[in-house]
Amino acid sequence: MRAGINSFGFGGINVHVTLEGAAISRRTALTGREQKLLSSVQDAELFLLGGDNAQELSAQVERLAGYAARLSWAELGDLAAVLARQPGTRQVRAALVAAIPAELASALRVLQEQLAQGTTRCFDPRAGVFIGATDQARIAFLFSGQAAPVRLDGGALARRFPEVKALYDRAALPALPVGEGQGGGNTVATAIAQPAIVTAELAALQVLARLGVTAQVAVGHSLGELTALHWAGALDETALLDLARVRG
């Protein structure tokens, strides 16, 4: 297990400390199961529920519980999609994770029990049940500068989201020489790293927007100031990518 801690000074003096848990042996590769999960379609659905108060949420749970066990596997995805389109400003919210109809029915029963007990906070990964309330907290975006990880393609996001793939096609980032991995020395060169980091930040913005996640304020650290200006509407995408190349 590893954790990274950043400390960024106002004068540009940056410190990064990496802590690593004690282990008998160091892992050097993903397990077969991890590789399979990374390359496969998702194996569960996320069901988002909510109401302006606990009573509204309980009523929604009761309606779903009435037919959840009779759904087909294909209908699970349809239900998850419909629930995800609901307004996201509900005060009391719950989320359920289930792979098959029986799991969804079981999670709904657990959720019903928790709500009946007046529970307002629940984090139960084993049952796939999560409950929380919101006070309309503000969201802020922080755009990182150079020293952020450098990737020259959209990775999993490009495979999942066509708009991210199109973005990387437009960005036309340089390819690494044959034989060099993503961690190769070339990626630390500013001419390569800075356009790549800005493109990754643009990709993140596109995915967050598609998921309905918006911010009220944004800040940028060093190079990230350019992406913050784009977020604020001062630069369009073409100007942002051009500036990142020139800056690099």
Token pair, residue 199, equals 């493109």
CA distance 177 to 123: 46
Asked whether residue 128 falls in the same domain as residue 215, the answer is no
* Domain co-membership, 143 together with 243: yes
Domain annotation covers residue 12:
no
Is residue 209, in this structure, part of any structural domain at all? Answer: yes
Instruction: Please check the confidence at residue 65 and state whether its pLDDT lies above 90.
Output: yes
Residue-wise pLDDT for 4-47, tens only, equals 888 876 656 677 888 888 777 777 888 888 888 777 777 899 99
Cβ burial of 154 (10 Å; 0-12, 13-18, 19+) is: buried
> Once rounded to an integer, what is the mean pLDDT over residues 119-144?
86
Q: Which domain holds residue 58?
A: 45-133
Q: Which of 133, 152, 187 is the last residue of a domain?
A: 133
Separation CA 98–CA 16 (nearest Å): 38
> Does residue 159 lie in a domain region?
yes
What's the total number of domains in the chain?
Answer: 2
Taking only the tens place, the pLDDT of each residue in 182-239 is: 444 577 888 889 999 999 999 999 999 998 899 999 999 889 999 999 999 999 999 9
Residue 226 belongs to some domain of the structure: yes
Q: With 70 as the cut, is the pLDDT of residue 178 above it? A: no
Residues sharing a CB contact under 8 Å with residue 150, sequence separation 6 or more, in sequence order: 182, 187, 188, 192, 193, 196, 197
Residue 238 and residue 200 share a domain: yes
Query: What count of other Cβ atoms lies within 10 Å of the Cβ of residue 220?
Result: 20
